[in-house]
Structure 1
Amino acid sequence: MKRFGKLATAAVVVIVAAGAGYYAWLKLRPPGLPAGIISTNGRVEATQVDISTKIPGRVIEIVPHEGDMVSPGEVVTRIDTSETLAQLHQAQASAELARQTLVTRQAEVASDDAQLNFANEELRRTSTLVSKGWSTHELLDQRNQQLKSADAALKAAMSQVDEARATVKTADARVEELQAVINDSTIKSPVEGRLQYRLVEPGAVLPPGGKIATVIDLNDVYTTVYLPSAQAGRLKVGNDPDAARLVIDAYPDYIFPASVSFVAPESQFTPKTVEVQSEREQLYFRVKLQKPPGVLKGMEEQIKSGLRAVAYVRLDPAVEWPAGLAVKLPSVDEQAGK
């Protein structure tokens, strides 16, 4: 009898536990969706930006570590510029010398111009004297020759000024080129995001275009889902933020809006995450559900590529979203407290 009593007690406990579990499942299961809205599992992703070096050189510093947040314009890497810096100083000295030479050539032009004016005046006076018989034609010929020589000297000096100006421009261009190389040696992040990978370490020598790090652009976050052709064919690609809803597993209290930004032009097999064999044998289309700009403001450090989410997609624009899927974003206080 004691054994029978224990078995009966255990059975009652199992029945009660099963009932409680069933009741909890009923309370927590998602509400039924209206026709025209479907749900599917998805994966949060973000655009990956490869940060590369424009110039060849040795990496002397990589500031952020993997997982660190970076802002637009924040320094990520520095390339050794000791050799380029020496070339820049030499180019700056050459540019300064070219400017001094230009000043000298311009002074020579002023002097030759004065000589030409003097030769013109001498020719005028001599011509007057010859016309009155007070001077010889030989002297007049000499004055003409002096005028031609002065004119030729002035033209030569002006040509040298043009050459000096060109030399200054060439020297300045060389300075700008080397300065640009030095500026490019400090590599900054073009986007706001999280450093995903450091592909090299300080001391590495990179060629032009060598990759240094990969940053996840948290201003370009989307969720990838896979839908069968019957559903994917009804989607309208555009910027309508009311086309979908997203509930991220890590933050189930919030409901984010999303638009359909991409539908693959070709079908493919369902990913391995779909466990049902009949579904795996079907061809599905990859769909990107884009989050509107600013929706994740303040949650950049919480949102990570690879998080799982449940996506609700509206196939029929005429269908109203149920109250349970109304957009719910974190408040400023909630963001500050995370």
Structure 2
Amino acid sequence: MKQLACAILIAVLAGCTRSDDREISASGTIEATEVNISAKVGGRIDRLPVDEGTAVRAGDTLAVIDRSDLAIQLRQAMANAAAADAQFRLTARGARQEDIVQAEASFKNAEDDLKRAEELFKANSATQKQLDDARTRFIVSRSVYEKLKHGPLPEEIDAARARREQAAAQVDAVRKQIADAVVLAPSNGEITQRSVEVGEIVLPNAALFRLSRLETVHLMIYVSEIELARVKSGQSAKVFIDAAPGKPLPGRVTYISPIAEFTPKNVQTKEDRTKLVFGVKIEAANQLRLLKPGMPADATIVTDTSSVR
């Protein structure tokens, strides 16, 4: 009888060991990827079409900031761009033919005036100042005529082109600010925090919302060095929560920490907190939204695929 009892006990212990070899169980807390959404521009909040708990898709409008001042700046920038473009085209085209003819006539008159002033000065009929004035008019008129006749320098055209491009860039910058005044959802998810109300003034880069991506959540558990040798990325896992007892949710191992650490302080016993462990992240699909961030959960990693049915 004693031999039979010993045999049964050995069989039970052996069965428990095989079960431990096939699976690793641990507990953790459900976490979700969270994105803090900020305003790129400052101003008064005009519209907030979403609230906490609203499910959004990538590209949905979350907030609209007042753009009336930016609209005025855009008109100013566009006017400056038009003026710079006209100046560039005028410079590149060069002087009109009638302007060249007029400059040539002024140059000839100044040349004749200078000759008369020189003759009168020699005859003591003109003062030195009158001669100097005539010579100055001659030099200026000749310079204007030569410049119009030969056209603008390449450097002048380049400078006019640069001013045009600078004005166009200013238009683009204001248009971008107007676009940034509409805050869009960067991805699918759920608004879990809204930090502003309609009518509030916000500063650039101020946080407005927190978006949680709940389609897929993850659970970080910690395993010992001995258990780590049996854990591999991609292994199947089962996640259990108190809200759905007996209904394991499928998951898989997506990350294994290469660095040992002490068990996190949220582990209850002091003995466990002093152990060196390795973090293992388990990812689980959450289409039914049963898994909530902050919810405690248990996970079982299937280390022996032959046990999976």
Q: Same fold by TM (over 0.5)? A: yes
* Residue 277 to residue 60, structure 1, CA distance change in 2 (3 Å): same
Distance 2:94 2:31 in 1: 69
1:285-296 superposed matches below 5 A? 285-291=278-284, 295-296=285-286
2:253 and 2:280 in contact (8 A); partners too: no
- Equivalent residue in structure 1 for 2:293, among 290, 305, 311: 305
2:67 and 2:178 in contact (8 A); partners too: yes
Distance 1:202 1:264 in 2: 47
1:108 and 1:157 in contact (8 A); partners too: no
Query: Which residue number corresponds to residue 129 of structure 2?
Result: none
* CA shift digits 1:55-113 (9 cap, x unpaired): 2333333321111111111111222222122111111122122223334334435749x
Distance 1:71 1:186 in 2: 15
1:255 aligns with 2:243: no
1:259-338 superposed matches below 5 A? 259-263=253-257, 265-272=259-266, 274=268, 278-280=271-273, 282-291=275-284, 295-296=285-286, 299=287, 301-315=289-303, 319-323=304-308, 326=309
Distance 1:49 1:104 in 2: 51
- Equivalent residue in structure 2 for 1:213, among 182, 191, 209: 209
Query: Which residue number corresponds to residue 26 of structure 2?
Result: 40
Q: What letter is aligned with 2:257?
A: V
Query: Which residue number corresponds to residue 50 of structure 1?
Result: 36
Using structure 2 for the length normalisation, give the TM-score: 0.67
* Residue 311 to residue 191, structure 1, CA distance change in 2 (3 Å): same
Query: Which residue number corresponds to residue 224 of structure 1?
Result: 220
Distance 2:150 2:307 in 1: 89
- Equivalent residue in structure 1 for 2:58, among 72, 81, 84: 72
* Residue 77 to residue 50, structure 1, CA distance change in 2 (3 Å): same
* Residue 34 to residue 199, structure 1, CA distance change in 2 (3 Å): same
1:45-194 superposed matches below 5 A? 45-109=31-95, 111=97, 149=145, 153-156=149-152, 160-194=156-190
Q: What letter is aligned with 2:299?
A: A
Q: Structure 1: which 5+ residue stretches go unaligned?
A: 1-31, 116-145, 327-338
Secondary structure at 1:215 match in 2? strand
Distance 2:158 2:56 in 1: 49
* Residue 210 to residue 321, structure 1, CA distance change in 2 (3 Å): farther
Query: Which residue number corresponds to residue 21 of structure 1?
Result: none
Alpha carbon RMSD of aligned pairs, Å?
A: 3.5
Q: CA deviation at 1:193?
A: 1.0
Q: CA deviation at 1:194?
A: 1.1
Q: CA deviation at 1:271?
A: 4.4
1:228 and 1:283 in contact (8 A); partners too: yes
Distance 2:256 2:54 in 1: 29
Residue identity (%): 24
Distance 1:154 1:249 in 2: 89
Q: Does 148-157 or 43-52 show the bigger shift?
A: 148-157
Query: Which residue number corresponds to residue 17 of structure 1?
Result: none
Secondary structure at 2:21 match in 1? coil
* Residue 234 to residue 209, structure 1, CA distance change in 2 (3 Å): farther
* Residue 159 to residue 174, structure 1, CA distance change in 2 (3 Å): same
Q: CA deviation at 1:173?
A: 0.5
1:246 and 1:312 in contact (8 A); partners too: yes
1:232 and 1:263 in contact (8 A); partners too: no
Q: Structure 2: which 5+ residue stretches go unaligned?
A: 1-17, 102-141
Query: Which residue number corresponds to residue 14 of structure 2?
Result: none
Q: What letter is aligned with 1:55?
A: V
Using structure 1 for the length normalisation, give the TM-score: 0.62
Secondary structure at 2:33 match in 1? strand
Q: CA deviation at 1:187?
A: 1.3
Distance 1:209 1:67 in 2: 23
Q: CA deviation at 1:160?
A: 4.8
Q: CA deviation at 1:228?
A: 3.6
1:270 and 1:279 in contact (8 A); partners too: no
Query: Which residue number corresponds to residue 141 of structure 1?
Result: none
Secondary structure at 1:33 match in 2? helix
Distance 2:242 2:206 in 1: 37
